[in-house]
Structure 1
Amino acid sequence: MGLLKGARARLDKIGRKPIEAAKDAADSLPPPSPNPMTTVLLADIALRAGGALLRRGVETGILGQKFGQKKAGHLVKGRSMTQTLVGTALARVATRSVPGAIVVGGGLLAKTLYDRRHAASQKAKGEAQVKAQADKGKKD
């Protein structure tokens, strides 16, 4: 606490609040490029890359609870382009509108209920698909 009080006292002494000081510091940094469109492009790439890393970490963490971290990593890595595009398209439809969310959510609910009704055959089929995808991820 002493460190925070000292920093706050110094900021109060010069008459600025911490948020204003942070804004001033950010404003004083030069942009990465003098061309504004290049800066926008760099920001977009950085955000997408960060989002992809976060998404991969969350997927691996969630799958790791059931399959173990190593196998979960292979599952995420072994995903086909079609699986990636379908997942991205469904997420985009679901997040763009309420009717889209209802349709996608309803489809997921129907698939879950179908899988539960045919649990014995679906479990074996799903385990075979998981094994094939994990094996594909090991090779890549």
Structure 2
Amino acid sequence: MGKTTVGKAMGDISAKGHDVAHAAKDVAHAASDKAKAMLPGKPSELHGPSPNPHTNLLIADVALRGSAMLARRAVEHGLLGSKYAPRKAKAILRGRTFGETLFHTAIARVATRSVPGAILVGGGLLAKTLYDRSKSHAARVEGEEDLHKMAEKGEE
């Protein structure tokens, strides 16, 4: 092969590579256009109340945390409300210490962040429940005393 033949062959390979690159680019654009056609509105528009995505993330976070807090309170009131008067149930919930709240939050986070954490926390709660059931009378009296103290703190 002479220099001109090698140069021509290299040019052909280069041209084919260029054609392949253009073809891949065309396929990517077609897929992008198809995806854009499936979304409502202009692609440059962000779906949310604010054009700033960080603000939209903040709004979503506040909404989710707020609704989770309301759901938690409803469950707590429901659990206590079945046995106690609504006024006493509110007093019990207000009488929790900051330390208890932090401890419960930490335990919940450990349980929800990983499978081993969920197993550990779930196992601990199961063990505590079984222990309380084996000492049902003493556990009931102790629990009643603790809730009474919490209610007294909450009424203050």
Task: Verify same fold: TM over 0.5.
Answer: yes
Unaligned runs of 5+ residues in structure 1 are: 1-22
Distance in 2 of aligned mates of 1:109 and 1:44: 32
Question: Alignment RMSD, CA only?
Answer: 2.5
The letter of the residue matching 1:89 is A
Task: Within 5 Å, give how 1:97-112 maps onto structure 2.
Answer: 97-112=114-129
Distance in 1 of aligned mates of 2:109 and 2:136: 29
Distance in 1 of aligned mates of 2:81 and 2:92: 10
The answer on whether the counterparts of 1:61 and 1:69 sit within 8 Å (CA) in structure 2 is: no
The CA deviation at 1:30 is 7.4
Aligned equivalent of 2:90: 73
The CA deviation at 1:114 is 2.0
Q: 1:117 is matched with which residue: 101, 111, 134? A: 134
Q: 1:39-81: CA deviations, max 9, x gaps?
A: 2112211211111011101110121112232222222222212
The letter of the residue matching 1:46 is A
Unaligned runs of 5+ residues in structure 2 are: 1-38
Aligned equivalent of 2:76: 59
The answer on whether the counterparts of 2:46 and 2:53 sit within 8 Å (CA) in structure 1 is: no
The letter of the residue matching 1:33 is S
> TM-score, normalization: structure 1?
0.69
The CA deviation at 1:119 is 3.1
Q: 1:95 is matched with which residue: 112, 117, 121? A: 112
Number of residues of Structure 1 aligned to a counterpart in Structure 2: 115
Distance in 2 of aligned mates of 1:74 and 1:30: 43
